[in-house]
Structure 1
Amino acid sequence: MSLSLLLPDQAEKLLLHSCCAPCSGGIMERLFEAGIEYTVFFYNPNIHPEPEYLLRKEENIRFANKLGVPFVDGDYNSDYWFQRTKGLEHEPERGARCSLCFDIRLEETALYAHEHGFPLMSSSLGISRWKNFEQVIACGQKAAARYEGLRYWDFNWRKKGGTNRMIEVSKRENFYQQEYCGCAHSLRDANAHRNSQGRPSIKMRKYYGKE
């Protein structure tokens, strides 16, 4: 069942930051069904290693093309991410490193929105149960506040069936299902947890695309 959506403040278009296809797929479909004009912005320099980044990006491109939705590649800049997060390598999930990671990605989203005439931005980051929704909102609002006339849409994508829709679309589209958040530190911690339970480490997928 589709959900009726209206952009706040009579905004005419939205820039949607996407972290990955499994999280953003349901959101993208709901926006599309509502007839909302939007563009997907993929900027996730946290994702490591690069083949993993490319896999996640290509899944997102595939679905955007299916819907006929514009897709912007924010480019991969892992060195910048590692530089800014230096010293936070052992912070827990949902801690200071995650806040800074959200800042990095949403600051770039806000800059693109400002430079290309988007009055509104949002992100798929908050739909995952592994993320702190309020933490994502705070980072998004802070990033948008840098530019006059830009607002972060704090719509809770989990509500009104949003989480179930996310899962349904992901299964239907056979999206690549990642097994860790994305960064090298989350991969380290995920493997440590798996190994403590006698489970093997995450096996990295190969990328066979054109990049």
Structure 2
Amino acid sequence: MKQNYDLMMQEELKTLVGRPKLLLHVCCGPCSSNVIKELSEYFDITIFYSNSNIYPESEYVRRRDELLTFIPQFNEKENQSITVVEDDYDLRSYTQKLAPLKDTGEKGERCHLCYEMRMKKAFAYAKENDFDYWTTVLSVSPHKISRWINEIGESLMCDHPKFLHSDFKKRNGYLKSVQTADAYHMYRQSYCGCVYSYQESLERQKDNQE
């Protein structure tokens, strides 16, 4: 039976006592914008920016800086104290690991491995730093497979920190993220991140121009 991961999250939120500490893996400012807004009602959030998949480095820096600009603005407007932790950037290593799967395309095995590598890093950081919960914003995108994301989280499941199931695209989550990003005048990228998705994006642009 198909799991309703959004419902699972809503049920978990009902059980919370106080404001648990949540480590939130974030891929960029726009995708995270509405997720942060909704989860900040329940958790003390620390953002984990771990995205060595992003090509080229200038794009990685642009997305990071956009996030770092957004968070202080959000904190001031919403009376929050969210902080950002940046993981080491290691594009070469990530690209080498993804290379054998480069031709599997978006929503293929390449993407599954990419989710898994970043989520394992988020889990390790959450565990080492005594967070109560951890999760990722990746499921907000209609181009991401929420079942894979949640299965990876479940494979790392333990009592502490707990994985927060989610499907952030539900309940118009993706549309709300677009609207929030526009309200904060954020840069929105045209491809997912890795060099292969970048090349595929260029091919799509070329096809659309013909």
Aligning the two structures, in what range does the TM-score lie when normalised by the shorter sequence?
Answer: 0.7 to 0.9
Greater shift after overlay, 150-159 or 47-56?
A: 150-159
Tell me how far apart the structure 1 counterparts of residues 190 and 205 of structure 2 sit (CA, whole Å).
11
The answer (yes or no) to whether the contact 1:38–1:70 under 8 Å persists in 2 is: yes
The answer (yes or no) to whether the contact 1:141–1:151 under 8 Å persists in 2 is: no
Greater shift after overlay, 45-54 or 187-196?
A: 187-196
Tell me how far apart the structure 1 counterparts of residues 151 and 21 of structure 2 sit (CA, whole Å).
22
Give the SS at the match of 2:100. coil
How many residues of Structure 1 are paired with residues of Structure 2 in the alignment? 193
Greater shift after overlay, 16-25 or 154-163?
A: 154-163
The answer (yes or no) to whether the contact 1:26–1:169 under 8 Å persists in 2 is: yes
Matched, 1:24 2:32: yes
How far does the alpha carbon of each residue in 1:13-35 deviate from its partner, in whole angstroms, 9 at most, with x for none? 11000011110011111223x15
* 1:89-108 equivalent positions in 2, closer than 5 A: 89-108=102-121
* 1:180-199 equivalent positions in 2, closer than 5 A: 180-198=191-209
Question: Alpha carbons of 1:168 and 1:82: their partners in 2 closer, same or farther (altered >3 Å)?
Answer: same
Provide the residue aligned with 2:48 in structure 1: 41
Deviation at 1:119, TM superposition (A): 2.4
Alignment RMSD, CA only?
2.0
Question: Alpha carbons of 1:59 and 1:154: their partners in 2 closer, same or farther (altered >3 Å)?
Answer: same
| Aligned mate of 1:60, from 39, 59, 67 | 67
Deviation at 1:9, TM superposition (A): 5.9
Deviation at 1:139, TM superposition (A): 2.0
Tell me how far apart the structure 1 counterparts of residues 199 and 96 of structure 2 sit (CA, whole Å).
18
Deviation at 1:164, TM superposition (A): 2.7
Tell me how far apart the structure 2 counterparts of residues 82 and 7 of structure 1 sit (CA, whole Å).
40
| Aligned mate of 2:139, from 126, 132, 135 | 126
Give TM-score, length-normalised by structure 1.
0.84
Greater shift after overlay, 84-93 or 42-51?
A: 84-93
Question: Alpha carbons of 1:7 and 1:88: their partners in 2 closer, same or farther (altered >3 Å)?
Answer: farther
Tell me how far apart the structure 1 counterparts of residues 57 and 14 of structure 2 sit (CA, whole Å).
35
Gaps of 5+ in 2: 1-9, 76-80
What percentage of residue pairs aligned between the two structures are identical? Answer: 27
Tell me how far apart the structure 2 counterparts of residues 108 and 44 of structure 1 sit (CA, whole Å).
10
